[in-house]
Structure 1
Amino acid sequence: MNFNFHVTPKISVGFLAKMRSITNIDNVDPKLAFLAERELEYEDLWDINLNEELINFNHMTWSEFGLNYGQVLTDAGQHFLKAGANVKYLSGYAAAYMYSNNFEYNLYNDDTTRYLAGDFGYGYSQNIADASNNTLDQSGVFGLPKASAKGIGVDLGVVYEWRPDFKDYKYDMDGEMNLWARDQNKYKLRVGLSITDIGGLSFQKAGISRDFSVNTSNLFDLTIFDEVQSLEGFDTTINGLINQSSALGNSEWTAGERDTLSSFYMRTPTAFSFQIDYHIWKWFYVNSTGIFNIISKNKDSKVKVANQFSITPSFDHAWFGIHLPFSVNDYSGFKAGLGARLGPLTIGVTDYRFLFASGNVRGAEFYAGVRVPILYDAPNDLDGDKVSDKVDDCIDVPGPWTFKGCPDTDNDGIIDMKDDCPLDSGLVAFNGCPDRDNDSIPDRVDDCPDTPGLAKFNGCPDTDLDGIMDKEDDCPLDSGLVAFKGCPDTDLDGIMDKEDDCPLDSGLVEFNGCPDTDGDGISDQEDACPLVYGKKEFQGCPDTDGDGIIDGIDDCIETPGPKENNGCPWPDTDGDGLLDKDDACPTIPGPKENNGCPYMDTDEDGLLDKDDECPNTPGPIENNGCPVIEEEVVEVLQTAFDNLEFRTAKDIILNESKPSLEELSNVLIERPTWKLEISGHTDNVGNEDKNMVLSKKRAESVKRFLVDHGVDETHLIIKFFGETAPIADNNTAEGRQKNRRVEMKIIFE
């Protein structure tokens, strides 16, 4: 019996209870089996040395009560892994073992051996002795015999599933997303690995179970065992042979090392198992399973499972299945089975070949079982709305989980069955009917559903609040009069504003509602002087003096005058015969030749500026108004010029040139109205641009010297010409010498 249930979708626990009984006989030589069947009466095998190695007989009957635990370790898309374990309480009822090692014999006849040797051991539990004596204690649980041994067993296993199409087994239901379809196998390939029945039980030996060795070359009478009627009798016989051999002082029959042990440990059938299951298509599968004993053959007290490998094609529906297992087993060899499952009932045969066997068939292997699974069902969803039928309030009509499967066609949060306007998204206040323009009038009774309006106009607006709804108002944005279909007449001139060129001023029909305030026949909007009577050619403005200049811009309204003088006649203010417009000095009399201005004598030297070559510097008339330069000053200038020399290709004044320059500076300081023009020149030797720079630097060097000696910097004028103004032939050394010069010239203003 096995019972399992899920605690969570990823964790399961369960309980198991089962009764098991296994008997193994291993490594029996066919010759020995043949002799046993013929009761040794087969002369062809007499007088022959025969040997048997590791003959084993093991039996155990026990029950198991266990708890199991399983958990999903990985559930990531294509890959699924779970592991589980059973922890079992083992209750032993009966166990027995017999083994031989290095067993050799030679038969003299059917009741005597010529040679007998080997190591032997056997043991059995007290229950077996009690059963043979009819004293078995039946007070165990469930009416079973009382257990004579206890132990713990463990099963371990893992299962991996490859799910390449895992998305096909996911669905959404009842507000939960990405759920597994638990009623379907999702894997394409499933691999399981397990180790089962790890453990064993320790039984008390019954009677005088023995562990002994035999090595005799004397004739041995086998009929000594004919009198044995029970296990105790067999023990007594073996004990007698050992004691007799010991009394005679030989070692033909001797006790083994473990002969004195009072208990023996019987191992449960520990095995390794693998299962590979391939999902072919829909309900068609093929399974490969291997079960292999992993207890060493040298262990003398154990029960084991037979090594087996099977391949099973199957059709496996939830409530019906057919299985065709093909297996190879250590004990039974090859078998071809057939099984069927109908609901909880499973029946089958382990080898269907007996059905086709010839001759007399003495038996057949079959099996039957009942398994009552509690299967997962796919949730029913009749209307396909991802709300299961068991919680769907509208089972025949699709709807969202929010409303327990009832539709809200217009998605307004009100289910259709309670929505007066199920096809139009609306408001709770109007039982699901819309009010698109938010005017508190539902659209179904609103004559203007897209424009907010008033209840008295059935939801239509009166934007300008003139008592005329917009759709009947020719001027819906401006409050107006009924007489003009809602259009205004702001100036109350009987002409509605949209046809009135002057809607804010009361006017005349002939001027499209515009006024003519001055009554000159020109409407105010076209009249440049709307408050003064005027002429049409002057856009309604007057021209009192008739000079063609309207009064508004005429500076002499009563007197005609030219436009250039803003309508006033030209005057001659200074009476010099030149009109002010032509007179450069209209308030001061002056000759016409000087544009009406008097001639000036700025430097007051008695010579008018027009005749004065130095109008800002006094000078005698005979020198054209310029001052006369004294001979001694001319001499100073000439000396400074003649003595001025620079370092070759430099602007550094030589020391011998400085005294004459100092004298020149004194002359200029004494005559503060004079200015000096300093002009630098070079010959044409070298680069033209460099010569230009050099001429400038030399002129500036002279200026710096004079300024440093007290001359006003503003009275010094620098000019430079480079090689562009020679005074001599540059082709001769003498000419080039003359061209390398700094000229100084007195300037008068």
Structure 2
Amino acid sequence: MKKITFIFLFGISSVCVEAQSYVGFLTDNYSGVNSVIANPANITDSRFKTDINLVGVSVFGGNDYYGVNIMDAFKDDYDFDLDAKKHPSKDNNAAINLDVMGPAFMFNLNKKSSIAIFTRARSMVNINEINGTTIDNVDDDTTDDFNVNEGDFNMFTHAWAELGVTYARVLFNEEEHFLKGGLTLKYLQGGGTAYAVGKNVTIDYDADGTDLGGGESTGSISSTGQITYGRFADFDNDDYDYELPDASGFGADLGFVYEWRPNYADYTKTNAAGDSYTQKDKNKYKLKLGLSITDIGSIKYKEGLQDTYDITNTGINEDDFEDADDIDDILNTFYTLEKSSQGIKAKLPTALHLNADWSFNSKLYVNLNTDLSLVSKGKENASRISNTLSLTPRFESKWLSFYVPLSVVENNGFQAGAGLRAGPLYVGSGSVLTALTGDNSKGADVYAGLKIPIYQGKPRDKDDDGIIDKLDKCPKVAGPIENNGCPWGDKDNDGILDNVDACPEEAGPEENNGCPWGDKDGDSLLDNVDGCPEVAGPVENNGCPWKDSDNDGVLDKDDNCIDVPGTVANNGCPEEIVPEVTEEVQKTLNAYAKTILFDSGKSTIKSVSNGVLNDIVNILAKYPNAKFSIEGHTDSVGNDVSNQKLSESRASSVMTFLIEKGVASSRLSSTGFGESKPMATNATSAGRADNRRVEINLVK
């Protein structure tokens, strides 16, 4: 009975992992590039010039069936089944979440925007709505028989890798109100997925239910219900040499952060010129609020398989059951396949994150964070985080932070942990205190990592004149604030003091405010006679550049369409737009193509299809620059060679018809695939009819 136990219970007995990664650490203002996974807006206006993560690993664990004493669990005589506390219910749950943050870095593009690039590998297992009494029934030592009324359940596992690019920008900065936003786009590579969904499942095992004759017997298995079983290709193959599946997708994170800065003036310096500088090395908020949605997206496993079985059967011989090679063999041997499809989509664990951070002073903070799953429990083909509410007081400084997260985790209950960041090292756990002190821990986690932080520096004032170097025009010589830190003088000896000299570095006449007449724009016209002294232009236009009224890059004097943007090649006039083939047009073409009829076993087109072919000709005429491939397909009736030739002939017949109707031959090509690319099963007449088809596809 090991196989049937695996099908229905393969994860409920293990310690599993759930909730958000890096609990506690991500609340730290010095978590740097790592914070991008919680809210992409975090990376701009941060305390870093740049931050490089080398590697970080976060593992979380929990379920609502087993409770253990973590310290006792490491003892040699600890019996998990006997010593662990069990909490069976009709709806037990568990999950696994391994999160590896690989090489990642962030840097500032300018004072308002930042960018980050990160790599990440993740693995999650979700087990939902398991009837906890199932395990008790299987492990009952008083009888070899057992009955399981499992009902509905859902199991999903998925591993994938991410390459993310984040852009964040300050959106609003007005005195005490500050707002920034960020967006992450992620390329996703699937590593593997499998899932099982049960509906109204029951199992009855009779240890002596099958009479083998001669006074011997073996077990008998009866069951009812329905199971949908999905997996990536070769998941059931014991001899499979693993390689990355043909699975990819895209994901996104979106976040915003608002800061209330009632003491903003304490962090801003302004010089006489009106230039201001805000200290980058200090947190300036009293209250910070964050909102983000993470993991929007999915991964398409193109070769994935999904089968739905009716598992209603009685009196299955246990010996025959045990002799089956794998799960797929069990399902196909003993149960009825209701439907099957190829290609599965694994959805990311989309979640909403709400965060509030209160600053008592520059070192002490308290954080309130809520992680809410936007994926419903039991959702097919989707990973899911557990809903979590955390309160995290912390001590925070540039080189050292310490935090104590206190959390309530869905299915795990209360957890208390601790974490530490010391320069390049970060390590912690969201449950270490609970695990070490409690005897009924349903969850455990740990994380650690290394990074290279490069912090923002404190602004300096080399000449001690009260003006920081960033705003001091003479950072090495003390001077008055009203002169931007420079002493008054007459540097160019033109008789005009620097405070009223428009060009204090160059001698010039008084009538030109102390500046020499010159040619600022370098267009050979002196500024006093230049109609546009700041912008270069031809002499014949009084030193002003020719206009480009429609901003199309063609000057008005050369533009044949002055008020309408165009191209240089077309003398400033717009060129005719050639329509492009859309996905909707492609679908329409293939919808028509599937209705083309041929004489049985031949490549001659029936006259009844002429109308459809003429419609196709009309569509192709609208896209004179597009090229198309005409592809023929057959069902599996007959031999491969005949089917291949027939598919090629039929594709060629369609191409010939289109050419005769005026479609340029250079735009068309034909090929046949025989029976090699079925779009449906060949086991039914309907499926074979779908497989006998012609497709017209855009050549990209």
Q: What is the TM-score when the length of structure 2 is the normalising length? A: 0.50
Q: Which has the higher strand share?
A: 2
In our comparison, the structure showing a higher alpha carbon Rg is 1
